[in-house]
Chain A
């Protein structure tokens, strides 16, 4: 158990809909990272937050947004969903923002868009 929690574990929805994925980092960790893992594109980095502020942005679509709240949990919002958004979404946390830090991964949310 990494100490990172993600909810829900599974999500099935329809095209055009909007969903929110939630992540609670390990106690004491200030950084949260979001990743998408799909069958055709593998793992991709979406976005990083540190202590409530956006720190780095990867291949995050404009239809997707994220935020980190004062209690350090984070939410990833996916809107106008398309079939291709079906994937495993992981969040990970680390203590700070140093480049050379171990990340601890949550169990993932499996999203299926029908």
Chain B
């Protein structure tokens, strides 16, 4: 069983749509990260959460510690948002676990 599960695996959206990517985890965590990986392979850290909600531009990330669940929302999606989004958790033993990623394609 994977410690981190993401859904959906693949997502295609029209430009302007509101997008939600979900992440569930099974371990006790000290932090949860949302990462973005573009087709060229580079990884960017979008958010690091240990509680509550964070917003950066059109991106919003939330976490519910009791339910062991996090969501990444993209408002007014744009073709440049096309990428793989990866959820990662750091457990209380300093280990990292990664989801398999959600591949997002935004069509103009």
Residues of A within 8 A of B (CB): 2, 33, 35, 42-45, 48, 55-56, 58, 88, 90, 92, 99-105, 107-108, 110
Q: What residues of B have a CB within 8 angstroms of the CB of A92 in the complex?
A: 43, 45
Q: Does B41 contact A (CB under 8 A)?
A: yes
Q: Is the CB of B86 within 8 A of A58?
A: no
B35 / chain A contacts, CB cutoff of 8 Å = 105
Looking at chain B's contact residues, is the secondary structure mostly helix, strand, loop, or mixed? strand
A-B contact count (CB 8 A): 55
A43 shortest CB reach to chain B, Å: 4
Instruction: Determine whether B94 belongs to the interface, using a CB cutoff of 8 Å to chain A.
Output: yes
Q: Please state if A55 and B94 are interface contacts (CB–CB under 8 Å).
A: yes
Q: Would B31 and A42 count as touching, CB distance under 8 A?
A: no
Give the distance to chain B from A101, nearest Cβ to Cβ, in Å. Answer: 7
The stretch of B13-21, B64-72, B95-103 in contact with A is B95-103
Which of B48, B93, B96, B97 lies in contact with A102, CB distance below 8 A?
A: B48
User: Chain B residues in contact with chain A, CB under 8 A?
Assistant: 30-31, 33, 35, 41-45, 48, 50, 86, 88, 90, 92-101
B31 touches which of A56, A90, A100 (Cβ 8 Å): A100
The 4 A-B pairs with the shortest beta carbon distances in the complex, nearest first, are A99-B30, A45-B96, A56-B94, A43-B98
* B98–A105 touching, CB < 8 Å: no
Besides A45-B96, A56-B95, A99-B31, 13 other A-B contacts (C-beta < 8 A): A42-B100, A43-B86, A45-B97, A56-B94, A58-B95, A90-B43, A92-B43, A99-B30, A99-B92, A100-B30, A100-B31, A100-B48, A105-B35
